[in-house]
Amino acid sequence: MTTPFDFNHAPFDCLSPAERQRLAECVDVAYFPKNACLHEANSLVDTLYVVIKGLISEHGEGEILGYYGPQDIFDARAMLSGRAQHRLLAVEDTLVFCLPREQVLDLTQRNPVFGAFFYQDVAARFAVLANRPLQGQLQSMLMSKVDAAYLSKALWVEAQEPVLAAAKLMQKHHATCVLVQGEKEAGIFTRSDLRDFVISEAPAASTPVGPLARSPLLTIEAEAYLYHAQLLMATHTIQRLVVTRKGEIIGILEQVELLSFLSNQSHIVLAQIERAESIVELMAANRGMEELVALLHRNGVKVSQIADLLSELRRHLLGRVFTLLAPPEMLAHTCLLVLGSEGRGEQILKTDQDNALLIEDGFEHPDLAAICERFTQTLLAFGYPPCPGGIMLNQPDWCCGVSEMRSRLLGWIRSASAENVMRLAIWADARPIAGKASLLGPVRLQALPELDAPFLARFALPVLQFNVPLSLFSRLVLDAGSERDRLDIKKGGIFPLVHGLRSLALEASIEASNSHLRIDALLACGQLPTELAQDLRETLSFLHGLRLQHGLNSIAQGRAPDNLIEPAALSTLERDLLKDALGVVKRFRQLIEHHFQLARLG
C-alpha cells in the first residue's frame, strides 16, 4: 500500500487543497538501502526528497555537513539550481518521497508562502514565513484593521458652547466623549472630564467647554491594525482613539470595543495595573501578563508585536510598583530606569532584574534606601530573579545622584575593562519608566565626552566574545559536554546583533534603545546598507521567536527558561531558517570587526 504524503508539515501545510491534489498525483516513493548514494556532487538533480523513515547524510569537503531524518526535506538548493552541491548517502535503509522538480518549481511561483521556503533572499524568506500562521493556527484578531471594529460616531461641539450643551449631546447619543472644534485645533472632552468639572462646582450653563478639552487629539488611521491601537492606548493610558481616513475624522474607537476583536486580555491587565492601590492588587496583573504571553504566541502574533505590547505593560507594572512604594516628594526628584533588554523593550519572558534609580542632585529622603530595597523584594516576589551582577537599585552603584552617576560612567569609560564595558552597555539601553524622566538626559552615554575611536573599539569588542555556531559549510555547531547537542542562541546569535547595533548607535549618537529602532536610525543615516538592515530585522525577530518558544516549552515542563536550543527538536524549516539567521549574524559580526578595526586590539 502506498504511503500517503503528509501535508501537515511546513512548507506543504500552506498549499491550497487544489495545489495539494496536483502534488499528490505526482509524488513517488523510493527505497535506498544502507550506504546507497542518492546523488554525487555536481550531478543533475530533478527531484526534491522528503524522508519517510531512515537517515540520509550530506558530505562535502571531506566532512559530514548534516543529516536528514523523518519529515526532513532535501536538497532544496540543489532542486532550485538543478545541480547537486554535495554527495548524499543513506546511513541506513531509507524510504523517501520523491517530488518532481518541475512540479515543485511551479508551486513556488503560484504560492508565494510556499515559495518563501526556497528563497535565497534571507529577509524575504523570513518575512513571508513569519507572516503566516504556523501549524494551522489563526492570526490573532490583533491583526484586524481598526475600521473592522465598531466605531462610535464623532460628535462635535464648538469651543464657545457651554459644558451643559456638551453633556446633553453625550447623553442623547449615549456617548463617552465629544470632539471640540477650537480656533486652532480640535480637542476632546470625555465623560471623565465632565465628572471632574461637576466636582469643581463651576456653572455648567455658562462655562465654555473649549478650555476644558484636551488636545492635540490622539488619532489612528482606519487602515492601521488593532494591534497598533491597543499599543497606543497602553502607551498613553487612554480609553479611546480618534479614527481618521486620509486625515478626515470618521469616528471614535473605544477601548471597550476591542473586546469583540482581541483574543487576549491586555486591556484588562492594563486596567488592573492602573487601578491597583496596593502591591497585592498588582500581583493579579503580573499573573495576567504571564498568561497573555502564551496566548498571544499561541495565536500566531509576531514576536516583535508581543515584545512591544509586553514592554508597555511591564513598563506600567514596574512604574506602578515604584509609585505605590515611593511618596510624591520622592517621585518628583528621582527617576526609575530599566536597563538592558528591559530597557530595549525586547524582553518578553521574565529575566534578571536590571534597573537603577537616578536622584536629583541635593535631594535626600530618609526612607530612600528602604523603599529601594522594598522595590527589589517586590520584583523578586513577582518572579524577577536578582541580577547576578548586582545591577539593581538597592545597590549603591545603581542608586545615586546624577553628578555621581556621571562621574562613575566617565570612570568606566576611561578604564574600559571588560566588566566596565558591559556595565556601560547595559546603561546604554536605559529607559525611564517612573519619576522625573529628564534626569536621564545629562547621563546618557551619548551626552558624555571621551567617546573616541579607541573607546568605541573596546566597547564593540564583546561582539567577538562568542563564536557564531555555524561552520564554513553552513552546518550548525553544537556544544559539547553537559550541553551536548544544543547551542546557546543568545551568546551565538542574539548578543552579537544587539551589541553590534548598540555600538554603531553609540558612535552615531543615536538615542534609541530598541534594536529595531536602532536599525531604522542607522539605515537613515547611511551606517547600514538597506539589504543588511532588512536581514537584521528579520533575523532578530526569528531568533527572539525561537527563544520565546523554547522558554514557553520550558515553563510548560516546569523548568526555568534558558537559552540553549536543541536543533534536532526543530522542524526542517526552522533549522534552515536558523542557519540563515546565523549566516546573517556572521556577516554582521564581520562588518563590526572591520568597522571598528577590532583586529588591532589583539
Domain shared by 340 and 400, yes or no: yes
pLDDT tens, residue by residue, 180-220 = 998 889 999 998 899 889 888 899 999 999 999 999 999 99
Q: What pLDDT is attached to residue 137? A: 33
Q: What pLDDT is attached to residue 200? A: 87
pLDDT tens, residue by residue, 328-375 = 999 999 999 999 999 998 888 888 899 999 999 999 999 999 999 999
Q: Could you tell me if 86 and 65 are in contact, meaning their C-beta atoms sit under 8 angstroms apart?
A: yes
Residue 293 pLDDT exceeds 90: no
CA separation for the pair 237, 272 (Å, rounded): 12
| 138: confidence class by pLDDT, cuts 50, 70, 90 | very low
Domain shared by 44 and 170, yes or no: no
Q: Which of 358-362, 450-454, 584-588 has the lowest mean pLDDT?
A: 450-454
Residue 297 in domain: no
Q: Which of 155-169, 319-333, 560-574 has the lowest mean pLDDT?
A: 560-574
CA distances for 309 relative to 234, 346, 466, angstroms:
8, 10, 31
Of the two residues 292 and 188, the one the predictor is more confident about is 188
- Of 504, 477, 501, 475, residue with least CA distance to 488: 477
Residue 127 in domain: no
CA separation for the pair 440, 477 (Å, rounded): 42
CA separation for the pair 424, 456 (Å, rounded): 11
Residue 276 in domain: no
Residue 527 in domain: yes
Say which CATH number the domain at 63 has. Answer: 2.60.120.10
Say which CATH number the domain at 586 has. Answer: 1.20.120
Say which CATH number the domain at 166 has. Answer: 3.10.580.10
**Structural domains in the chain (count):** 4
CA separation for the pair 259, 81 (Å, rounded): 50
What mean pLDDT value characterizes the chain?
A: 85
Highest mean pLDDT among 71-80, 241-250, 277-286, 548-557: 241-250
Coil, helix or strand for 138? coil
pLDDT tens, residue by residue, 233-281 = 877 778 899 999 988 999 999 876 665 455 445 666 776 787 788 898 8
Residue located via cell numbers 501549524? 135
Residue type, 122: V
Of the two residues 200 and 407, the one the predictor is more confident about is 407
Q: Could you tell me if 157 and 209 are in contact, meaning their C-beta atoms sit under 8 angstroms apart?
A: yes
Domain shared by 197 and 149, yes or no: yes
DSSP state of 211: G
Among the candidates 443, 468, 486, a domain finishes at 443
pLDDT tens, residue by residue, 487-534 = 889 999 999 999 999 999 999 999 889 999 999 999 999 999 999 998
Domain shared by 587 and 477, yes or no: yes
| 400: confidence class by pLDDT, cuts 50, 70, 90 | very high
Residue 306 in domain: no
Residue 301 in domain: no
Mean pLDDT across 533-562:
88
Q: Which of 103-117, 133-147, 384-398, 443-457 has the lowest mean pLDDT?
A: 133-147
Q: Say which residues have a Cβ less than 8 Å from residue 552's Cβ, sequence separation at least 6.
A: 293, 294, 297, 349, 561
Domain shared by 477 and 590, yes or no: yes
Residue 474 in domain: yes
The pair phi, psi for residue 388, each rounded to 5°, is: -60, -30
CA separation for the pair 485, 62 (Å, rounded): 22
Domain shared by 468 and 432, yes or no: no
Residue 198 in domain: yes
Cell numbers for 500, please give them.
553590534
Domain shared by 472 and 435, yes or no: no
Domain shared by 415 and 529, yes or no: no
Q: Say which residues have a Cβ less than 8 Å from residue 460's Cβ, sequence separation at least 6.
A: 499, 500, 503, 592, 595, 596, 598
Residue 405 pLDDT exceeds 70: yes
The alpha carbon of residue 284 and the mean position of all alpha carbons in its chain are separated, in whole angstroms, by: 24
Q: Label each residue of 494-542 as H, E or C.
A: HHHHHHHHHHHHHHCCCCCCCHHHHHHHHHHCCCCCHHHHHHHHHHHHH
Of the two residues 498 and 59, the one the predictor is more confident about is 498
pTM of structure: 0.65
pLDDT tens, residue by residue, 590-599 = 999 999 999 8
Q: Could you tell me if 234 and 126 are in contact, meaning their C-beta atoms sit under 8 angstroms apart?
A: no
Domain shared by 244 and 331, yes or no: no
Residue type, 211: P
Cell numbers for 289, please give them.
501578563
Domain shared by 379 and 339, yes or no: yes
Q: Could you tell me if 119 and 538 are in contact, meaning their C-beta atoms sit under 8 angstroms apart?
A: no
Domain shared by 580 and 471, yes or no: yes
Of the two residues 128 and 368, the one the predictor is more confident about is 368
Domain that holds residue 341: 326-443
The alpha carbon of residue 481 and the mean position of all alpha carbons in its chain are separated, in whole angstroms, by: 32
Tell me what percent of the chain is helix, strand and coil, each rounded to the nearest 5: 50, 15, 35
Domain shared by 513 and 593, yes or no: yes
* Residue 388 exposed, middle or buried by CB count within 10 Å (0-12, 13-18, 19+): exposed
